[in-house]
Amino acid sequence: MAVGVRLTPRWAPWIGLCAGAGAGALAVAALSAGLAPGSVAAALRWQPELVWSQPWRLVSAAWVHLSPGHLGANLAGTLAVAALGVAAGCGSRAAAAWALAWPLTHLALLAQPALASYGGLSGVLHAAVAVAAVQLLRAERGMRQAIGAALAAGLLVKLVFEAPWQAPLRQVAGWDIAIAPAAHSAGAWAGGLCAWVCGAGRRPRQAGRRP
């Protein structure tokens, strides 16, 4: 009888997305340092008036950072999301959900017309956390499912505390840039919705033998 052998870990696609997020951010930072200041960011950041004529910005906006501190914090967040995905057992469906939520996160910023531009991984990282929460809630039982519920609740409390409906930007103590709460909310909702639609965390009896 033939026995199937999994040559790569089930969470390999998730780690691949994390690697792409970090590598893209580092590459844009390096290019920005070597070219005219601001020219790379201007070509890649999210801007509402260019969303349809230059759709690559729906992806590339995540790689644009406004300061070394901004970049460092998001790279650290990317490492945390990688570990979270592995711990939650995020497989191909979870990775597909996160990949789909990436451009949708930025597209949803059209709902905040006062936000003239945006760059950074934080919205996309919030999407990843939401996907991991759905993964745990749907795939697990007992304590791990409770952890998923706590993760989802903590994310929701954070979004409410940031009050994205009040202003497009918010200055936070200790940060050298203003944050965009709408990006965090957009990422979390896009990630949760895409995770549900893509079937992240569905058990074998629900999903058959598909990966």
Which residues neighbour 61 within 8 Å (Cβ) at sequence distance 6 or greater? Answer: 44, 45, 46, 106, 118, 119, 120
Q: How many CA atoms does the CB half-sphere of 41 hold within 13 Å?
A: 16
Q: Which pLDDT tens digit goes with each residue over 18-47?
A: 999 999 999 999 998 877 667 899 999 999
Q: Are 82 and 9 in contact (CB under 8 A)?
A: no
Share of the chain above pLDDT 90, in %: 74
Q: Which pLDDT tens digit goes with each residue over 49-64?
A: 999 999 999 999 999 9
pLDDT of residue 175: 83
Check whether 5 has a pLDDT greater than 50.
no
